[in-house]
Amino acid sequence: YVIGLGLDQALRHAVPTMTEAQRPEMVTRYRHHFLQQDGAIPLFNGARETITELHEAGYQLAVATGKTHAGLTRAMASSDMTHYFHSTRTADRTFSKPNPAMLLELMEELDVSPERTLMIGDTTHDLQMAHNAKVDVVAVGHGAHSEEQLRALKPLTLVEDFVELKAWFKANA
């Protein structure tokens, strides 16, 4: 359940007995252990090709993530993806999913209306954020939540991977 949420929200859900006094130490310990594991992050099959094609076709691409800004910067740099994205929002710089703030801020910065915005997400938190921002959403089934959970939130469609997503864009853009 916690994948896709900001660290603070995830810890509150995963450790409901945690007190406010314990929270800073838990955050520090999590970050210490996470950063030891944080090497090159492999991309999902077809992700680089799909993102490259969308970028080259002129789409404004952005990232809204539960990661910290530092974590996203490392991940994008290690996968050589930074240059494809016009902007980002992270859970340590604004409200975490499913609050719509990330999408609303990105749309304002990029001067794009909700009607011209499409969220692509692989968790229920992503889909809920899109609905809360009044934005269409496509679900990708390779994430932490089941296809049944994703379909229950009524995305435009559910694709299995980036290869299917690229085909969907070609048919629907």
> Which pLDDT score is estimated for 145?
86
Mean pLDDT for the stretch of residues 17-27:
77
Those residues whose C-beta lies under 8 Å from the C-beta of residue 166, and which sit 6 or more positions away, are: 46, 49, 50, 53
CA separation for the pair 49, 95 (Å, rounded): 30
Which DSSP string do the residues of 67-126 spell out, in sequence order?
A: S-HHHHHHHHHHTT-GGG-SEEEETTTSPPTTSTHHHHHHHHHHT--GGG-EEEESSHHH
| Higher per-residue confidence, 173 vs 69 | 69
Look at residue 117 in the predicted model and tell me its pLDDT.
Answer: 98
CATH level 3 topology of 47-172: Rossmann fold (3.40.50)
Residue 150: pLDDT band (50, 70, 90) is very high
Which has more confidence, 7 or 126? Answer: 126
pLDDT confidence of residue 7 = 67
> Which is more confidently placed, 148 or 67?
148
